[in-house]
């Protein structure tokens, strides 16, 4: 996936995760993109590499799986940021 696709999927994942975690009002578009991209990386690290739950390599075959993994990782990232009191 190219840079533009990564940014678009990251924005979607970050936005969906912010809606789930109720932090949408304090996040802008750039924060959604960054949280989505870092969240997808975090999901790959935690669930794919460390826990071996669902192959993240499988996610490369499906756009829906990319979004699901990205949202899941973004929710974890937002929870960490809330625990550190960076987000409310």
Consecutive 10-residue runs of the chain (88 residues): their mean pLDDT? 78 92 85 88 79 60 80 91 87
Model confidence, pTM: 0.81
* Residue 16, pLDDT score: 94
* Residue 43, pLDDT score: 83
Pairwise CA distance, residues 14 & 57, whole Å: 21
CA angle, residues 60, 31, 86, in degrees to nearest 5: 115
């Amino acid at each position: 996936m190219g840079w533009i696709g990564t940014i678009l999927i990251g924005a979607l994942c970050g936005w969906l995760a912010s809606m789930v975690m109720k932090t949408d009002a304090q996040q802008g578009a750039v924060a959604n993109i960054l949280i989505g991209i870092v969240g997808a990386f975090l999901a790959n690290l935690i669930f794919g590499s460390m826990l071996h739950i669902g192959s993240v390599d499988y996610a490369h075959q499906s756009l829906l799986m990319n979004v699901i993994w990205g949202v899941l990782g973004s929710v974890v990232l937002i929870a960490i940021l809330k625990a550190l009191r960076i987000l409310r």
